[in-house]
Structure 1
Amino acid sequence: MAVDQQLPQSSVKLPDNLSAQLKKENPGAGEYRIGPLDELEVSVFQVPDLSKTAQVSATGQISMPLIGAVEAGGKTVPELEAHIASKLSEKYLQSPQVTVFITEYNSQRVTVDGAVIKPGVYPLSGPTTLLQTVAVAGGLNSVADPQSILVFRTVGDQRSAAKFDLSAIRDGKAPDPTLQGGDVIVVDTSGIRTIWGGVKEVIPVVGVFTWLL
């Protein structure tokens, strides 16, 4: 279940060092844009010779039969389908039906920091939840506060944050939010005042993203 992204009107002033860190690590999110190293399955209806599996290059391109290099980076799936169909229809096919399926999401990543066993940057392989991501990071360490999980997200140029209770999620008492590429997940520690503590205390509702200034 996706996170409720209706944002309250409250706002938070972040510490300067935290603000800079989030701006660097969290490039933005929204409708999925194909990126380098994503693996795509491209099918052209009734023309199997033009169908192939391709990995997006570091420069954002894939190579297709007949039409050669195609710019895939930065496009959504429908945009890429329309682009390939347009290229094929210029010289080779009449009204081609192109389908693109992302088989590996390698360009979208999330950062996991704080009181987990293995902090780091992890790729999103399709729809991935907060609980799944914490598990991939080795789970909570001995000083973690499971009721204080912060997710920082950028929508356009605006940063936001939400607080989650991992214990409630595990018990089925709260929804397990779906993450987006660029999210920064921070697990706070029990009884220790950190720079994250000031943020979590002013977020009014658990599970609802709040604008950050």
Structure 2
Amino acid sequence: MTVLRVRKTSHRLTVITLALAGLSLAACQPGTDSIVPAGDAGYAAIDVPQGDGVPVRYLLLPGDVVSVQVYGEPELSVAEVSLDNAGMLNLPLIGGVRASGMTADDLSSAIEAAYAAKFVRDPRVAVLVKKTQLRTIAVEGEVALPGVYPYVEGQTLLTALALARSTTEKAKLDEVMIFRTVDAQKMAGRFDIRAIRGGRMPDVALLPGDIVVVGFSGPRGAFLDALRAIPAIGIFRPWR
């Protein structure tokens, strides 16, 4: 698998940025340990399946290319159409259809409903994903090979660490951070790799754009403080 290497300067800037974000969280959310859900409640809060934590359906994103076939209506079928920056498709007669965040089957149903409302009796629509945008995840901190890696469907925290050649001897395995942005909302969570490897907690499904940061086992100033700023293991928590 191709690895997109991160330069040393970029790596340092990323670590500093994440440390400052964690310190900001600590200042804004004092004493949250007792109210933040943990364990099963924490996983349920972000809708991560118990078990292997692997996403089972591909969700469309802006820039993806799909084909839309309306059976028996060749003039309404489109061989290739891209989702625009807002995640919309522009189709004959019905115009804009929101597609971002939907599966191909969900989008087929939405298009069928739009055509059935005014234009076609009992339409049957098939959507095929033809091209997806390059998606990546980043793995930083105490791993053997930090860098930016291509995201593939079904990727988890453990597989991401495997791509980075696993953790170093200095890694603090109960302070593995995931930073995530969903619909412009920034989120973060802390996970215990030992518990996941031992089967005591589920693996964590990753999304494109996730940043994984493995903490240090010894005092390293502000960065260690940033890792300790997230109060609960095994959850995501909105942060600003």
2:144 partner letter: I
Q: Is the 8 A contact 2:61 2:83 kept in 1?
A: no
Residue ranges of structure 2 left out of the alignment (5+ in a row) = 1-14, 23-46, 48-57
The answer (yes or no) to whether the contact 1:116–1:134 under 8 Å persists in 2 is yes
Deviation of the 1:181 alpha carbon: 2.3
User: Given the alignment of the two structures, is residue 198 of structure 1 paired with residue 225 of structure 2, yes or no?
Assistant: yes
Kindly indicate whether the alpha-carbon contact (under 8 Å) linking 2:67 and 2:127 is maintained by their aligned counterparts in 1.
yes
Query: Of the candidates 155, 164, 167, which is equivalent to residue 137 of structure 1?
Result: 164
Report deviation, 1:206: 0.4
SS in 2 for 1:76: coil
Q: By percentage of residues, which structure has more helix? A: 2
Q: What's the TM-score, normalizing by structure 1?
A: 0.61
Cα deviation 1:87-145 (Å, max 9, x = unaligned): 8x999x75432233547754433221112233222333223211111112222234322
Question: Aligned equivalents of 2:79 and 2:195: distance in 1?
Answer: 41
1:153 aligned onto 2:176: no
**CA RMSD, 1 decimal:** 4.4
Matched pairs, number: 189
Which secondary structure state, in structure 1, belongs to the residue aligned with residue 215 of structure 2?
strand
Q: Which amino acid aligns with 1:18?
A: L
> Residue in 1 aligned with 2:212?
185
- C-alpha displacement of 1:56: 5.2
The CA distance in 2 between the partners of 1:80 and 1:196, in whole Å, is 47
Alignment partner for residue 169 of structure 1, among 162, 177, 196?
196
1:76 is aligned to 2:76: no
Structure 1: any 5+ residue segments left out of the alignment? 1-14, 23-29
For 2:170 and 2:81, locate their aligned partners in 1 and report how far apart those are by CA, in whole Å: 41
**Which stretch of the first structure deviates more once superposed, 173-182 or 73-82?**
73-82
| Alignment-derived partner of residue 35 in structure 1 | 62
Q: Deviations over 1:155-179 (max 9, x none)?
A: 4443221111112111111111111
- Per-residue CA deviations over 1:38-91 (Å, capped at 9, x if unaligned) read 46575655899x9999695998899x9x99xx999746333476448868x999
3-state SS in 2 of match to 1:35? coil
User: What letter is aligned with 2:224?
Assistant: G
CA contact (8 A) 1:105 1:124 kept: no
**Contact kept in structure 1, 2:20 and 2:226, CA below 8 Å:** no
Paired with 1:151 and 1:198, the residues of 2 have a C-alpha distance of 16
C-alpha contact (below 8 Å) 2:19/2:222 kept by paired residues? no
TM-score, scaled to structure 2: 0.56
Deviation at 1:33, TM superposition (A): 3.7
Q: Secondary structure at the match of 2:167?
A: coil
Answer whether contact 2:99 2:107 (CA < 8 A) is retained.
no
